[in-house]
Structure 1
Amino acid sequence: MRIGTLDNGLTYYLRNNEKPGGNLELRLAVNAGSLHESEPGLGVAHFLEHMMFNGTEEYPRNEIVAALRGLGVEFGPDLNAYTSYDATVYELDVVTNQPGAVETAFRILSQWAHAATIAETDVVEERGVVRDELRLRYETGRGIVFRVFDGIYVAGTPYEGRAAIGTAESIETMSPAVLRDFYETWYVPANMAVVAVGDLSLDELEALVTEHFDAIPAGEAPPAPDTYSPFSPEAVYAVATSPSLGYSYMSLDIKIPSWARGTVGGERFELMETLIALMLDARLKDAYEQGYLSQLDPAKIDAFDHTDGIRFYGTNLRADDLAVALGDYWSMVLSLEAAGFSEVDLQQAAEVLRTDLAFELESVATAQDREYAGLYVSHFLQGDDIGTVSDRVDRVNALLDGMQPAELTEYFRWIMRTSGPLLIAVGPDPADVPTTEEIRAAIEGASPGELPERTAEVTALMDAPEPVEVVSEGAVEAIDGAYEWSFANGAKVVFVPSDIAEAQVDMQAISQGGWSTMEPGDRPLAGQLATRAVRQSGLAGFTPSQVQRLLEDQNVAVVPFIDETEEGFAGSAAAEGIETMFQMLHLLVTAPQVDDQAFADAVQVGEIRLSLAEADPGWQSWIGYIEARQADTFEWFSPVASQEALDALTPESLLDRYLQRLGDVDDLIVAIAGDIDRDTAERMARTYVGTLPAGEADTFVNRRAPEPTGVRHRDIVLAPDTQNTGLDIYYEAARPVDVKLEVAAQALTTIVDARFTSEIREQLGATYSVGIAVQPYFTPEPGVIAQIGASGDPEFIERIHRTIFAILGDLVENGPTLDEWAEALTVLNAEYTHIGNADHLDAVLRRAHAPDDELTTPVRLFEELADLEAADVQALAVELFDIDQHIDIVRVLG
């Protein structure tokens, strides 16, 4: 890599990298966010970020969006830039084999750095977009609660009152002069960095940076604002409620210091804080499993950053009695503080960090462009380490070797003396949560007590079964390098060698059936609660924390799922943890369990889902669609269980539902993609998959009602304190599915998204988020579905609705324009260039429904893309978008 500074003061970070290859990641990092505004509450930095997509000197008005789309860059909310308290960052991702693309991308980045037009007309038009973003993020139940959290977190600090988005008043009165002043003050070369990582030489990248950025006038380097966040030993007690919240919980946070990153001292203290969090988390889980804590969800604690200058330890907990559970939790924290940490605690935590470091070192050769780009942005803005991974491994291991339990104990005790806890009770109504006086009483009444026993560690989940012989095996010709083994129990394993992510293995396994084979009402009970309870109960007699610690030590994760027409497992592992991943899969079939704590948690989650269905607008919209689509078979498709069904559950009945679908195998396909050799994959297949118990053959059942005729409409009335009006529209068509349809659906998605952004977001200026997803499906009967979603100003919802129909009608009548077609091809070309392990797995699993010549391999995708014509996409639009045949869900003000 290369780091340099131009004569005008602009910093640049360059790296030649060939992962994924043919790609270039660009960033413009500006060390200016809402903290840098002249006074609190303005929202200038964030509004200015929006204005960058409304025109520059070289790309006036919406020409800049057209230029981005010409690069294959998809434009929309949260895709191309972000603004925080501390910084603003712009992101571009382009393919390097497209003529002129790299030059254009650098030119756009340069224009953002110094040539934004910030015209009066554009500012006025953008107010509605930003206002709707405020509505979408903060005028919802969750947004209202988040504002309470944010206000408490930043109180008494330089960040106080400086939420990045500003206020409704500041947005509605934003002026070009205010924006221009901020732009000219903070967007100066000495306060910015350009990051370029990808498949070009360092000399080429440096020449491009010099060509496009060297002529920008230097300006004056602005003074950096203070980010120091003082500590207070006093506890803070608060309540945050909104009627549209579906459940109650208690939040507990403890402020921890923010250190200068990139310094020896800062690195050491942050390492100490990470170790303390890991030790606390492990011991709290011991306490939970041994009955010391009355909360329903598993105990945890994590470290997190709220801003560059504000950091916390934090947890949330759910319970039947939140005040009692809070007192139990805080008493255990006080007990751990009083007892201090042991050498065993330290070594367990250190081993987790050493495992992470070892995996990072093993996979460094396949680090992707995006990873490096993010790292260099963090270095410029926050001083994060960008040295070699091997140096960091050596340095951190040396620090770990020198750590002492007594030092960590004393540091934790200092944090506890210095930083009073922040306690926030959250729920739909003040009557549902403790009062501030009750919270205070719970904290002040807590005291140190007995500690739980340490959970014994395990080094393996099971003894390896005797491998079985394969029934058949051979190469899968349609997928480069793939090999398949078939077994007598009906299971198949397909391995695709891949070094896209070095030392990484990904797995997905599916079997046909799902909850469609079960009883009415089992969708939430089997698909959500049973799988959750099994995940949180341990395996084969081991406790949840024993299993979790082993998985953490080996960077392994495996989760079961039960969907409508299929069930299975998804997992990943570091290459050296491959055996543990397969042991997990094996035991999730042969030795799952549901313990009392996981059962109680699952039942409460079921009750939460029931509450969300009654209170949360998003859930109400989703259920409204299901009621409209499956009017005659709703009992099969309801995503929430009744209180009666929840009351009737037992641990045994929940486990039985799990075992009905995941207790044996008949047609299981296990797809593996990753950085291991075929011999290892075969050994895993013969040992852990071929030995699974065989069950009776079955498949899914079509429980869906026929598509309803005409237009089905539902209004969702919002709670009085929420303003996030919007709509969802659904279209579907029954038809065969092949690779051509997959590509056409993606092209249609890209084209409609672009039109929506241009004509609804930019021209109407009353919506922040509008988009479409067009998705083919194989089961239970093949077809394609389109879902459209839009937020919007309450006064503009009807107009947004009409505009959506007008756009779809024009595509049906006239098809895409030549420019739209060219942009869509460019976008898909870029997308198909970026192939990961997940794409290999998808191609393998498609064999459950399609012949080998209809798999979504890179070769087939590019073949179909080359053959695709605009008329094909128009034909799909004609098939889908019948103005008189769809489902409409609209969120309206109460």
Structure 2
Amino acid sequence: MCCAGSVLADSGDRVGALDNGLKYAIRHTDRPVGEIEFRLIVNAGEVDVQDARLEGGMHLIEHLAFRDTEAYPNGTLIPYLRTQGFRFGEHLNGWTLPAATTYQLALPHGDAAGVTAGLKVLAGMAAGIRFDPAVVTAERKVVAEELRGRHNNPWVNFWEQERHLYQHGTGGGSWSYGTADSVQQMSAADLQALYRRLYVPSRMTVIVTGDVDTRQVESALRERFSALPAEARGARVGQLRPLQPASKDLAYAVTPVNDGMNDWANLGISFPHPNFATADGVRLAYVASFLKYALKQRLAQRGVNYQIDWRWRDDGQPILNFGFQLGPELNKHNDKLATREQVLNLEGQLAAFVAQPFDDATLAQLKREYLGSVVQWHANDRDRAKAEAELLVQAAQGQHPWSNSRTEMPAVRKAIEPVKAQDLSRLLGAALGRPRYLQLAFQQKHVKQFPDRAAVLSWYADFKPGPQPAAFADYAMLAFPAPKAEPGSIRSDQRAGEVETLVLSNGIKVLLRPISDGKGLVYFRFGAMGGQFQFGEAQYAAALTMPTAIARSTVARLPQSEVARIRLADGVTMMSSVESEWFGFYGNAPAAGLKTALAELHHRFYRDFDYDRLGISGRETLIKADTPLNSVARLMWQDMRVAAFPDDYRMQGANPRWFDDFDGSEIEMVVRQLYGDPSRFTLGLVGDFDPAVVKPLLETWLANLPRRDDIAPTVIAPIKAVAGGSVQVTDTTRRSSYVRIEFNTRQAWSPQTVAQARLLRTVLDERLRLRLRDGSGVSYSPATGYQLLPSSAQLAQLVVGFDVDPKYEDEAVELARGELASLRAKPIGDDELQVAKRIALREARAELDVPELLCLYLLTNDAGGLPVTRVDAVYKALEATDAASLREGAQRWLSEAGMTIGRVSPNPRI
């Protein structure tokens, strides 16, 4: 493996290679208990096909790996895995990228039987795919439908062109996923020959992570995969592609996009390929990561929000990509583009960063914030089986150091602490000396002439950086001010089981559940029932603007950019949320950073109405009558909502009437209503904290929050849902149809009702996949979802959605309706029920291992009138559900009295 000799390797990992060239990596993780993750990476993708007749063939082979192998022939793989508690797409999946194909499998038990089963599945994919002509013919229809859906999505097309762009100079820029028509022409024999040519052990890496004995897994893996035949020694390719020379000229692409998308630009800059096998290579990689953070903060100070991310060429060359929205309003009335100024403005900002290194105080603060962000990432995303598997995939592809959280954090600190400002300037300066990758996307109706490559080259030929501003203006250490009032007190303190319930002097309820999980994090949710649904029709337009207004508002006179810096420096993550029935904040912090989180909440309630501004004026976030929505959004958020809820304004959030009804003076009033009464709020804390330390912080920052006298009691009226009948949107530009069936009913929240919805979703997922995908091939991705609001609105919604070949649209709708009707008409069989329960119970059990979700369940139980100690209530309800009660649930959840059927179709209908 590329990183087997890394300086950050962990002694507990098992890393090696078989005689046939296959590489492997095995890592033990403690969480989730019993879970195991498998990955098979094949260093071959569409760039390796090199046959116009088989473009898209690697994608079709990936599909066949789930359908028919020597290990699990004739479609027996997925039925077997469902008996193990598996959901297709979540626990078993695959994806074909231009230069690699990856298979993912997750099993709920890491014992010997689970290891054997998982390796058997991967071995079948690696060397045992059968190419029965009948199976190939059936799966070609599924892939064709997937490709039709891709072609409906302009962002997917934009992404594919970006991947072509970044392969400039590698010799692999002429690949394609094929078309719905081309995949129908591929023969089983040609696909089998392609499979045998590219699926060879030297191109493969197997990764296993989870609650396993790594030595036993290594022994089983060697036994299972050593028999794979090796290709001739001279033909071996290896896991990593040879590094190509850096691009010597501008790589440029321009993409026309559909109306309704943003005009967009991607500017990419090449960096040296990291050698993760050496200490210096690892150090430089972390310094480059720190440079990315410093650039993000520096550009944010200039008032421009760039999306800055790493991209990787197929040969492992890293590219720092700056994505930004172009101003379409500049293009509407001009024959020439204003894009030149925006691209060159970014170039000038980067040149200024190189020319003006920042001072020591600024550098020290940037380091503190960056390290805080890394601590957050480690605490939230490391040490779980799935996260570690994904990181090992990146390591296998040369995109991340071979490390775990114990070895990496000290290495990050060691790399960042000695960095000087001049080091960052030199690193960026060297990158700026290399040719660029530039991709532009324009709405066609706004632009009369796209700039060609010669025009873009002329921009750069004329470019000279102007006067250099300082790298940073004022970037000193920040903190929230002192409390605005004297401390309050804790009025009552009671314990039930593992949960301690406090009531503060101003009525705030606090639920404390300490958990020592070794992460050192505290997860919090602080909010109140009410949200947008509490507001009347006259204020509803303003209420719809609240999520953005509150998220971007100043806090203690500090803009959000500085609030974010305070959080990062103390390792705090916090998000605001204004939902239908709930308003509040959630996130996590190390125990030492909890003071910062509570201080922010304190100052949000003590808003200075003269100085603290909301984030937007409001109206521009609402939809105007002439806003160009794509056809699926128009169906889901306008036409179907109006049909299903004609008498309930709260369910018509995308209705253009709100733009006309908007009154800016109402914004302040709805914000005051949300913040106005602390006694409506509940704070949940779950994680690694000491209640004795937390309680004084609660008295200092929360128990003294004031109540306003000009607020109204919170009242949420029940939802008014009706049967919406049938709704259609005709879109002749689409190559596939989309069908959405909604059931909107009124039901009170309870664990039993949630359990019924989970099981119905699981049963429908399997039945629709069998009927629409595997059985007929007319749909690629049938899916089911549900929601149940936990208070007085009583909205229960279950949704079935699927894309479909337009020729079979009516047939597919009838198939789906037949399955829905059968669940209402008769109880399901015991075998089907037990499989569905095994899947739903696996997911519910995994949720009980996540502190963030435990915190959510504390507040949900509190709002729903259930004892807060019963965080496993839904799990217990799932265990108790039988076929009769599930049928009774189907008659409520799937009632035709609340059914609306919507379609987006290229087939015009009257």
Q: Is TM (by shorter chain) over 0.5?
A: yes
Deviates more, 1:259-268 or 1:416-425: 259-268
Pairing 1:293-372 to 2, within 5 Å after superposition: 298-299=305-306, 301-305=308-312, 307=314, 308-309=316-317, 311-317=319-325, 319=327, 320-321=329-330, 323=339, 325-326=342-343, 328-358=345-375, 367-372=383-388
Using the TM superposition, give the Cα deviation of residue 316 of structure 1 relative to its aligned residue in structure 2, in angstroms: 0.8
- Correspondence for 2:494 among 455, 469, 474: 474
Tell me the SS of whatever aligns to 1:29.
strand
Query: 1:717-728 counterparts in 2 under 5 A?
Result: 717-718=730-731, 720-728=732-740
Mapping 1:31-46, distance limit 5 Å? 31-39=43-51, 42-46=55-59
Partner of 1:463: 482
Provide closer, same or farther for how the CA distance between residues 426 and 454 of structure 1 changes in structure 2, counting only shifts above 3 A. same
Distance between the aligned counterparts of 2:348 and 2:585, measured in 1? 38
Q: Which residue of 2 aligns with 1:886?
A: 899
Instruction: Provide the alpha-carbon RMSD of the alignment.
Output: 3.4
Of 836, 849, 856, the residue aligned with 2:863 is 849
Secondary structure of 2:229's counterpart equals coil
3-state SS of the aligned residue for 1:53?
coil
Moved more, 756-765 or 591-600: 591-600
Equivalence for 2:68 = 55
State which of 583, 590, 599 in structure 2 corresponds to 1:583.
599
Aligned residue in 1 for 2:88: 75
Q: TM-score, normalised by structure 1?
A: 0.89
Deviation at 1:363, TM superposition (A): 7.9
Provide closer, same or farther for how the CA distance between residues 417 and 640 of structure 1 changes in structure 2, counting only shifts above 3 A.
farther
Counterpart of 2:108 in structure 1 is 95
| Structure 2: gaps spanning 5 or more residues | 1-12, 331-337
Corresponding letter in the other structure for 1:64: L
Counterpart Cα distance in 1 of 2:612 and 2:876: 54
Where does residue 590 of structure 2 map in the other structure?
A: 574
- Summarize deviations over 1:781-831 as a string: whole Å, max 9, x none: 435321111012121221211110111222223332333222112212321
1:775 aligns with 2:796: no
In the TM superposition, 1:787-806 aligns within 5 A as: 787-806=799-818
User: 1:702 and 2:721 equivalent?
Assistant: no
Q: Which of 874, 885, 897 is matched with 1:872 structurally?
A: 885
Residue 202 (1) aligns with residue 218 (2): no
Distance in 1 of aligned mates of 2:539 and 2:456: 38
Q: Is the 8 A contact 2:46 2:99 kept in 1?
A: yes
List aligned pairs for 1:266-665, cutoff 5 A. 266-288=281-303, 298-299=305-306, 301-305=308-312, 307=314, 308-309=316-317, 311-317=319-325, 319=327, 320-321=329-330, 323=339, 325-326=342-343, 328-358=345-375, 367-382=383-398, 384-420=400-436, 422-427=438-443, 429-431=445-447, 444=462, 447-451=465-469, 454-464=473-483, 466-477=486-497, 481-500=498-517, 502-520=519-537, 522-523=539-540, 525-527=542-544, 529-591=545-607, 599=615, 604-606=620-622, 614-634=629-649, 637-639=652-654, 645=660, 649=664, 654-665=667-678
Residue-by-residue CA offset, 1:170-223 (whole Å, 9 max, x unaligned): 322232223322322333333323222222323432343244333333344632
Q: CA deviation at 1:474?
A: 1.1
- C-alpha distance in structure 2 between counterparts of 1:592 and 1:84, whole Å: 51
Cα distance change on mapping 1:226 and 1:668 into 2, 3 Å: same
Amino acid of the residue matched to residue 469 of structure 1?
S
Question: Structure 2: which amino acid aligns with 1:632?
Answer: D
CA 1:457 to 1:138, structure 2 compared with 1: closer, same or farther past 3 Å? farther
Contact 1:246 1:612 in 2 (8 A): no
Asked if 1 retains the 8 angstrom alpha-carbon contact of 2:168 and 2:247, the reply is no
Distance 1:827 1:210, change over 3 A: same
Distance in 2, Cα, partners of 1:640 & 1:879: 28
The alpha-carbon distance between structure 1 residues 536 and 251, as it changes in their structure 2 partners (threshold 3 A), is farther
SS at match of 1:666: helix
Q: Are residues 45 and 762 of structure 1, via their aligned partners in 2, closer, same or farther at CA, if it must alter by over 3 Å?
A: same
Distance 1:423 1:336, change over 3 A: farther
- Please say which of residues 438-447 and 305-314 is displaced more in the overlay: 438-447
Q: Rate the CA distance shift 1:174–1:591 in 2: closer, same or farther, 3 A.
A: farther
CA contact (8 A) 1:337 1:412 kept: yes
Contact 2:499–2:869 (CA<8 Å) still a contact in 1?
no
Correspondences of 1:110-259 after superposition (within 5 Å): 110-163=123-176, 165-220=177-232, 222-224=236-238, 225-226=241-242, 228=244, 230-234=246-250, 236=252, 238-243=254-259, 245-259=260-274
**In the alignment, residue 113 of structure 1 is paired with which amino acid?**
A
> Secondary structure at the residue paired with 1:698?
coil
CA distance in 1, matches of 2:221, 2:634: 48
Query: d(CA) in 1 for partners of 2:628 and 2:164?
Result: 29
- Tell me how far 1:237 sits from its aligned partner: 6.5
Contact 1:523 1:637 in 2 (8 A): no
Preserved CA contact (<8 Å) 1:815 1:873:
yes
Count of aligned residue pairs for this structure pair = 872
Alpha carbons of structure 1 residues 856 and 315: separation in structure 2 relative to 1, 3 Å:
farther
Q: For residue 817 of structure 1, what is the aligned residue in structure 2?
A: 829
CA contact (8 A) 1:515 1:562 kept: yes
User: Does the C-alpha gap of structure 1 residues 393 and 772 become closer, same or farther in structure 2, counting only changes over 3 Å?
Assistant: closer
In structure 2, the CA distance between the partners of 1:493 and 1:694, relative to structure 1 (3 Å rule), is same
Question: Distance in 2 between the 1:818 and 1:50 partners?
Answer: 30
Structure 2 CA distance, aligned partners of 1:171 and 1:543? 53
Q: TM-score w.r.t. structure 2 length?
A: 0.87
Distance 1:248 1:357 in 2: 32
Q: Within 1, Cα distance between the matches of 2:423 and 2:317?
A: 24
Q: 1:531 to 1:731 in 2, by over 3 A?
A: closer
Query: 1:7 offset after TM fit, Å?
Result: 4.3
Q: Secondary structure at the match of 2:41?
A: strand
Q: What amino acid is the match of 1:467? A: P
**541 and 427 in structure 1: CA distance in 2 versus 1, 3 angstrom threshold:** same
Aligned partners of 2:205, 2:439: CA distance in 1, in Å?
Answer: 39
Question: Secondary structure of the equivalent of 1:228?
Answer: coil
Task: Find the counterpart in structure 2 of residue 741 from structure 1.
Answer: 753
- What letter corresponds to residue 224 of structure 2 in structure 1? H
C-alpha separation in 2, matches of 1:594 and 1:765: 61
Residues of 2 paired with 1:533 and 1:811: CA distance?
44
SS in 2 for 1:38: coil
Deviation (angstroms), 1:343 = 4.1
Deviation, 1:760, is 0.7
What is the distance in 2 between the residues matched to 1:448 and 1:598? 34
| Separation of aligned partners in 1, 2:274 and 2:838 | 44
For the 8 Å contact 1:534–1:592, the answer to whether it is kept is: no
Question: 1:580 Cα deviation (Å)?
Answer: 1.1
Residue identity in the other structure for 2:475: A
Which structure 1 residue ranges, 5 or more long, are not aligned? 289-294
Per-residue deviation, 1:612: 5.6
Q: Which moved more, 1:658-667 or 1:53-62?
A: 658-667
